[in-house]
DNA sequence: CTGAAAGCGCTTACAG
DNA sequence: CTGAAAGCGCTTACAG
């Protein structure tokens, strides 16, 4: 283990000390750090060595004062504080914001009236852009209020972005399709499906992905195996009972999110149905509950933290663009990669009795 | 709704513009913003008005360059990345760090060997302090490696802080006691208890709180109703079966954390036991699963986000103190308030048959 | 209690 | 490709 630097209890290494050590100007060090500018290879190497030798890490706060990002204020307007994805969005958002030196304002709201108030507060606070996590990401009135004020809006994790808004999201259709293929490849033919809250855009899109998956495998849609849910654990419990408490129950159930899948699993546990031997279950989102329960849930992972980061980065770009060009411009759309998490809650279809 | 400022697409309001507007110097504005310094009431009012009129918000990044916090680097060393509390710790930590302009380095590790490597990396990166979330908060070897390097350590959410480390935590004993009182007041006399992982300090302390609660209610400890768990959902499932699959089952079960409580609940659902009418269940921590499952779980809320914030603030103070005095000094200990979340999983004890 | 000056660590803009 | 100067928005340290 290395010795601590003597100077440690006074302050950190600055760019100037690195410059001195490397025998160049601070500007050259700055250029090396910030990549994208050409520096002669010889100098670059020397600087890099000095950085290592002195254990230099750039002071982000100082950087952002000058680079212009630091004046930017982003609002995050949310309406569903208990949702487990919200923490992760904030986590990614704050991390990115601190990198950019951007400020973040959190604003909570409930119904439509309170959305108006919340938007006013954000406008008064002078935000330069607003990020809308689900379910607000699909709220036309909110988007309209913001847009009318000339404030760029970014919808996070929506399945179908509204016309004028930027968006960071995954392809819900492809995600559901991948999950369905996973089940059909395991030999499942009787697959139950639990829909989500009809007012959320991913609900329909995920269902469409499921249908496509059945189609590809030449499987018919079994109407009575499609049940309406509300994205809640409790609705999963109820849907699970409907699907499992029958003679010809499905060999697999695709719940439109993890919470509902967890509900189904509790019902199955209760009926003494072994998972995955007798029943495969999968969810969607890969929220914390997916790896809490047993067996752990096969699901589609949304990279929420990364999406939170990207949301900040994207809207900051949008804002700077607008400042430069003086007009709103086209919305930015970012599609993130999802991951199929093949865990223990799915397995080969049981043999016919 | 207010009109957007004309200047909005160029930049934010600065302290100087406020000063001009109020007819004072920037220093006076700075003093008003930063509270703790005396300013004549008349001037203060004028400044406050100007701040409001111009909609001024201080630029945190700029502030921290000068105020000295900005050079500080804090490491967060964690070993259990999937734990649901980790996100919240990070959330609070990053938020506070961005306020202070402090930088945060995340470092992940596994077993003891990898802890050594991780500590080396943090030391090389020149961190000025390290925060240890559970379960590393109780790892004597890790603490020792860090302390030997002269780096202040802060243990987060430990039940019993090691000698030389600072700590931010709740009182696990009082929390468990409050929960037990809640149950005994509801008339429960046969209360099952599921212990946590024996290697974590909260395990024993929560158990002691439970014992104290029984004692206060003049209830005997029923040995066969105390079951060992491991803080996992699966261990809760197994413990739940042990406790419920018997003639004289308890009327209430106190699981040492929420994940295990969720496991017990799944077992109860499976056996057709109604909650809370026939069985009360409570957990500990108030992690996301507590409000996901149904019925929602009565539990003890740890203010994790606030604890993450406080951890950064506390260790930054510690570091500045050490820089000033030139020596380590006493560890700082911060006790946060917990909240008893009385939800739907607990109710009056059922009548004797 | 108030202010003018200097400086935090970095980057932008201007020269070469 | 490289550097000297100026400046980001704020606070510290020094005068009054």
Q: Kindly report the CATH number assigned to the domain that includes residue B128.
A: 3.40.50.2300
**Residue B80 Cα to chain centre, angstroms:** 15
User: What is the per-residue DSSP string for A215-258?
Assistant: HHTTPPP-GGGEEE--SSHHHHHHHHHHHHSSTT--SEEEESSH
Residue A344 lies in a domain: no
Do the chains contact at A73 and B97, CB–CB below 8 Å? Answer: no
- Could you tell me if A60 lies within 8 Å of chain B, comparing CB atoms? yes
Mean pLDDT score of chain B: 90
The shortest CB-CB distance from B84 to any of A9, A65, A288 is to A288
Nucleotide nearest to B25 (CA to C1'): C3
Do the chains contact at A259 and B1, CB–CB below 8 Å? Answer: no
Q: Which helix (H) or strand (E) holds A150?
A: none
A309 and A219: one domain?
A: no
What is the CB-side half-sphere exposure of residue A253 using CA atoms within 13 A? Answer: 36
Residue A34 has pLDDT above 60, yes or no: yes
B135 and B41: one domain?
A: no
- Could you tell me if B199 lies within 8 Å of chain A, comparing CB atoms? no
Give the CA-to-C1' distance from A268 to C7 in angstroms: 67
**Which residue has the closest alpha carbon to C7 C1'?**
B66
Most confident range (mean pLDDT) of A325-334, B59-68, B310-319 is: B310-319
Omega prior to A135 cis, within 30 of 0: yes
Look up the CATH number of the domain holding residue B52: 1.10.260.40
Mean pLDDT score of chain A: 90
Give CB contacts under 8 A, 24+ apart, made by A271-278.
A271/A244, A271/A245, A271/B270, A272/B270, A273/A244, A275/A344, A275/A345, A276/A344, A276/A345, A276/A346, A276/A347, A277/A347, A277/A350, A278/A251, A278/A350
Q: Mind telling me how many Å the CA of B84 is from chain A's nearest CA?
A: 6
A88 and A183: one domain?
A: no
Hey, is A273 helix, strand or coil?
coil
Residue B54 has pLDDT above 70, yes or no: yes
B205 and B154: one domain?
A: no
Residue B179 lies in a domain: yes
A277 and A199: one domain?
A: yes
Spell out which residues of chain A touch residue B82, defining contact as CB-CB under 8 Å: 288, 291
Secondary structure letter of residue B352 according to DSSP: P
Is B58 (CB) below 7 Å from strand D? yes
Predicted local distance difference test score (pLDDT) of residue B352: 62
Residue with tokens 């959902």: B233
Buried b (16+ CB within 10 A) or exposed e, B278-302: ebbbbbbbbbbbbbbbbbebbbbbb
Residue A48 lies in a domain: yes
Residue with tokens 């919200």: A86
Give the CA-to-C1' distance from B309 to D12 in angstroms: 26
pLDDT in tens, B169-218: 999 999 999 999 999 999 999 999 999 999 999 999 999 999 999 999 99
- Could you tell me if A214 lies within 8 Å of chain B, comparing CB atoms? no
Q: Among A63, A94, A111, identify where a domain stops.
A: A63
Q: Which helix (H) or strand (E) holds A148?
A: helix A140-148
Give the CA-to-C1' distance from B26 to C6 in angstroms: 14
B176 and B166: one domain?
A: no
Residue A157 lies in a domain: yes
A99 and A193: one domain?
A: no
Give the CA-to-C1' distance from A62 to C10 in angstroms: 5
B220 and B153: one domain?
A: no
Residue B10 has pLDDT above 70, yes or no: no
A11 band by pLDDT with thresholds 50, 70 and 90: low
Task: Quote the CA–CA distance of A250 and B320 in Å, as a whole number.
Answer: 63
B98 band by pLDDT with thresholds 50, 70 and 90: confident
A133 and A200: one domain?
A: no
Residue with tokens 């000058």: A66
- In the predicted model, what is the mean pLDDT of residues A261-269? 92
The A residues from 272 to 301 touching B (CB cutoff 8 Å) are 272, 287-289, 291-294
> Which two structure tokens, joined as six digits, stand for A351?
């043999």
Predicted local distance difference test score (pLDDT) of residue B1: 34
Predicted local distance difference test score (pLDDT) of residue B6: 37
Do the chains contact at A59 and B70, CB–CB below 8 Å? Answer: yes
Residue A342 lies in a domain: no
Q: What's the longest Cα–Cα distance across chain A?
A: 81
Residue B65 has pLDDT above 90, yes or no: no
- Could you tell me if A266 lies within 8 Å of chain B, comparing CB atoms? yes
Single pTM value for the model: 0.85
At residue A249, what are phi and psi to the nearest 5 degrees? -70, 160
A290 and A322: one domain?
A: no
Give the CA-to-C1' distance from B194 to C13 in angstroms: 67
Share of chain A above pLDDT 90, in %: 67
Q: Among A21, A42, A63, identify where a domain stops.
A: A63
Is B14 (CB) below 7 Å from strand D? yes
Do the chains contact at A2 and B123, CB–CB below 8 Å? Answer: yes
**Residue B138 Cα to chain centre, angstroms:** 15
Do the chains contact at B120 and A1, CB–CB below 8 Å? Answer: yes
- In the predicted model, what is the mean pLDDT of residues B278-289? 95
Do the chains contact at A88 and B90, CB–CB below 8 Å? Answer: no
Residue A105 lies in a domain: yes
Higher pLDDT among residues A262 and A57, named by residue: A262
Hey, is B283 helix, strand or coil?
coil
Chain B residue with CA closest to A63: the answer is B61
Residue B61 has pLDDT above 90, yes or no: no
> Which two structure tokens, joined as six digits, stand for B76?
């967060």
B199 and B275: one domain?
A: yes
Spell out which residues of chain B touch residue A270, defining contact as CB-CB under 8 Å: 266, 269-272
- Could you tell me if A117 lies within 8 Å of chain B, comparing CB atoms? no
Q: Among B14, B39, B63, identify where a domain stops.
A: B63
Domain that holds residue A313: 73-170+304-337
H-helix segments, chain B: 15-22, 26-33, 41-54, 60-67, 84-100, 112-124, 140-148, 172-185, 201-216, 233-244, 258-271, 288-292, 304-325
C-alpha angle B310/A104/A106, rounded to 5°?
80
Q: Mind telling me how many Å the CA of B243 is from chain A's nearest CA?
A: 16
Share of chain B above pLDDT 90, in %: 67
Do the chains contact at B126 and A9, CB–CB below 8 Å? Answer: no
- In the predicted model, what is the mean pLDDT of residues A118-128? 87
A269 band by pLDDT with thresholds 50, 70 and 90: confident
Residue A348 lies in a domain: no
Q: A252 - beta bridge partners?
A: A191, A280
B254 and B309: one domain?
A: no
> Which two structure tokens, joined as six digits, stand for B316?
């930054």
Nucleotides on strand D with an atom closer than 7 A to protein CB?
A: 1-5, 7-13
The shortest CB-CB distance from A233 to any of B2, B267, B292 is to B292
Predicted local distance difference test score (pLDDT) of residue A321: 81
Residue A4 has pLDDT above 70, yes or no: no
Which among B65, B90, B292 is the top mutation candidate for probing chain A, defined by the most A β-carbons within 10 Å of its own β-carbon? B292
Hey, is A353 helix, strand or coil?
coil
Chain B residue with CA closest to A291: the answer is B82
What is the number of domains present in chain A?
3
The A residues from 238 to 257 touching B (CB cutoff 8 Å) are none
- In the predicted model, what is the mean pLDDT of residues B259-277? 92
Cβ–Cβ under 8 Å, residues A84 and A53: no
**Sheet containing B333-336: which strands, arranged edge to edge?**
B103-108, B73-78, B129-132, B153-156, B166-170, B333-336
- Could you tell me if B76 lies within 8 Å of chain A, comparing CB atoms? no
A112 band by pLDDT with thresholds 50, 70 and 90: confident
Residue B140 lies in a domain: yes
Residue B2 has pLDDT above 90, yes or no: no
Task: Quote the CA–CA distance of A145 and A152 in Å, as a whole number.
Answer: 11
Share of chain B above pLDDT 70, in %: 95
Predicted local distance difference test score (pLDDT) of residue A3: 35
Task: Quote the CA–CA distance of B156 and B264 in Å, as a whole number.
Answer: 28
Give the CA-to-C1' distance from A51 to C9 in angstroms: 15
């Amino acid at each position: 283990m290395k010795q601590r630097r003597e100077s440690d209890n006074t302050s950190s290494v600055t760019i100037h000390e690195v410059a001195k050590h490397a025998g160049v100007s601070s500007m050259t060090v700055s250029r090396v750090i910030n990549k994208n500018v050409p520096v002669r290879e010889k100098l670059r190497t020397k600087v890099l060595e000095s950085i290592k030798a002195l254990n230099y890490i750039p002071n982000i706060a100082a950087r952002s004062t000058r680079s212009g990002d630091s004046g930017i204020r982003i609002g995050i307007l949310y309406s569903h504080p208990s949702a487990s994805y919200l923490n992760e969005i904030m986590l990614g958002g704050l991390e990115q914001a601190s990198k950019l030196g951007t400020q973040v304002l959190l604003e909570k709201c409930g119904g439509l009236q309170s959305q108006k108030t919340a938007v006013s507060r954000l406008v008064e606070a002078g935000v330069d852009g607003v990020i809308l996590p689900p379910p607000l990401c699909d709220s036309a009135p909110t988007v309209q209020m913001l847009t009318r004020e000339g404030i760029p809006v970014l919808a996070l994790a929506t399945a179908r972005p509204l016309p004028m808004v930027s968006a960071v999201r995954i392809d819900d259709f492809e995600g559901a399709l991948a999950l369905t293929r996973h089940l059909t490849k395991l030999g499942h033919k009787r697959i139950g499906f639990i829909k989500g809250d009809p007012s959320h855009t991913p609900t329909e899109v995920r269902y469409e992905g499921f249908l496509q998956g059945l189609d590809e495998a030449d499987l018919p849609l079994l109407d009575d195996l499609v049940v309406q849910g509300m994205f809640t654990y409790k609705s999963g419990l109820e849907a699970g009972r409907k699907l499992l408490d029958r003679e010809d129950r499905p060999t697999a159930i695709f719940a439109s999110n993890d919470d509902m899948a967890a509900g189904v699993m509790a019902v199955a546990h209760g009926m003494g149905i072994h998972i995955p031997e007798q029943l495969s279950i999968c969810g969607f989102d890969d929220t914390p509950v997916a790896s809490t329960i047993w067996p752990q849930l096969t699901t589609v992972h949304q990279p929420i933290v990364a999406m939170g980061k990207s949301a900040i980065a994207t809207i900051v770009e949008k804002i700077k663009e607008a400042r430069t060009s003086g007009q709103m411009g086209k919305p930015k759309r970012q599609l993130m990669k999802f991951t199929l998490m093949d865990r223990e809650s799915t397995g080969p279809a049981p043999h016919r009795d």
